[in-house]
Amino acid sequence: MRGSLLSVAITGDLETGDLINFSYKVMRQLDRIRAPFFALINIHEATLTILEGLEGKISKQFNDLAREKKTIAIAYVLPPEMCKFYLKRKCPESIRVFEDSIAAMHWLESLGLTTEKNASSLAQFA
């Protein structure tokens, strides 16, 4: 996948909570990383993708945010029933949970992480 540092399939059983537990641990680990990257975790498709720079397609605002505030952004795309579980947890401000990829992309755009021009490029990773 172009521009990705890591893309892996997440395996497990939703019924037993395997995916919920695994993905929550991943989310907490990612929050400790202090570098300019963002992650798109899509439980619908059972994928975790960590992106860095998208080969220059990320806007300057994102790099400034990462340098100055040491912020990372993680967009979590989950089925509706799983969103309730995550919303009950205390999560860092850099992490948001969404029911669909479009909402996740809107959030990234609101942070100035994307521009209208590159939003379509980012959407392919959601």
Torsion of Cα atoms, 59 then 95 then 77 then 34, to 10°: 60
Contact 115, 59 (CB under 8 A): yes
**Domain count of the fold of the chain:** 1
The proportion of the chain whose per-residue pLDDT surpasses 70, expressed as a percent, equals: 11
Buried b / exposed e over 56-91, threshold 16 CB at 10 Å, is ebbbeebeebbeeeebbbbbbbbeeebbeebeeeeb
- Mean pLDDT of the 99-123 span: 60
Tell me what pLDDT residue 37 has: 55
Question: What percent of the chain has a predicted confidence (pLDDT) above 90?
Answer: 0
**Distances in whole angstroms, Cα of residue 83 to Cα of each of 31, 42, 76, 89:** 18, 12, 9, 10
DSSP 99: S
pTM, full prediction: 0.45
The reported pLDDT for the residue numbered 98 is: 77
The whole domain housing 96 covers 4-123
pLDDT at position 82: 67
Determine the angle formed by the axes of helices 101-110 and 116-123, rounding to 10 degrees.
150
Q: State the burial class of residue 55 (Cβ atoms within 10 Å of its Cβ: 0-12, 13-18, 19+).
A: exposed
In angstroms, the CA 113 to CA 86 distance is 23
